[in-house]
Amino acid sequence: MELQRENVLVDLYPIVRQTLGIGSPSYSLKELEPLYMGEAEREGVADDADSVALYAQFCDERDTGVTEGATKTLADIEQYNTHDCRSTLELRNWLITRAGENNITLASACDLELDVHIIDFDPVHGKLQALLADVTLENRTPHDTAIALAAAAIDIHRRDDKSFWWAHFARLSYPLEDWAETRDVLAVESFTVERENIWSGSGALFEYLMQITPLGQSAPFEP
């Protein structure tokens, strides 16, 4: 999150989603690669679901002493992740080239700044965490566990704040259809302005808004 906020990392998905039509319901890297990767086709692991399954396999092989198998499995995962990194870089370069061809000025870091207050780490949280730096989870004493719980409690507001801003930035960046069905969302599809003369002692003209507003599927609603 901090790297995105400092513009070190940029989420390319909303950019691609809102600017490209590729004739596919999915905008995954695998679907986009024919646009910019040329002959560099993927080999081995097919997708992220397979990579997760392979990592579980690697853990089993490592823990059961199947060293040769674990090494090969880890290498397959590394190959998949390396291709993903290279593909993301090539997508970024391809988008910049397309922007130049269409006389689109690239945004600067100042253009991307938002006036958002982010809660800093509490220094007490850092000191408590430092006390546990050399203690593994398995070797924690009751005293260590108490320290860990205290550190987590101190940091809870910062963590809660992060989830709020994740949702906020997603709604700013991602297309409406990607988040319209999420909790606490009202999406206005259409509206009309209605005027009506209602007697209130002064014969005032009242104006009100009529709108069609679907609720997100899990939005709480009490009549």
d(CA 62, CA 64): 6
pLDDT confidence of residue 143: 92
pLDDT confidence of residue 211: 58
Q: How far is CA 162 from CA 75, 99, 122, 156, 186, in A?
A: 34, 32, 15, 10, 22
Q: Residue for token digits 């014969």?
A: 203
Per-residue pLDDT of the chain (223 residues; tens, 9 = 90+): 566 666 677 778 878 887 888 887 788 888 888 888 877 677 777 777 888 899 999 999 999 989 899 999 999 999 888 888 899 999 999 999 998 998 988 877 666 565 555 556 678 878 888 898 888 888 889 999 998 888 888 777 666 666 666 677 777 777 777 777 776 677 777 777 666 655 555 555 555 556 555 555 545 555 4
d(CA 213, CA 222): 15
d(CA 186, CA 72): 49
Which helix (DSSP H) or strand (DSSP E) does residue 59 occupy? helix 48-63
**pTM value?**
0.53
In 64-113, where does DSSP find H-type helix? Answer: 67-101
Q: Identify the CA nearest to 87 among candidates 46, 36, 48, 49.
A: 36
Q: How far is CA 26 from CA 31, 62, 79, 172, in A?
A: 7, 35, 23, 21
3-state secondary structure of 197: strand
The residues facing 210 across adjacent strands are: 192
pLDDT confidence of residue 223: 47
On whether the CB atoms of residues 218 and 183 are closer than 8 A, the answer is: yes
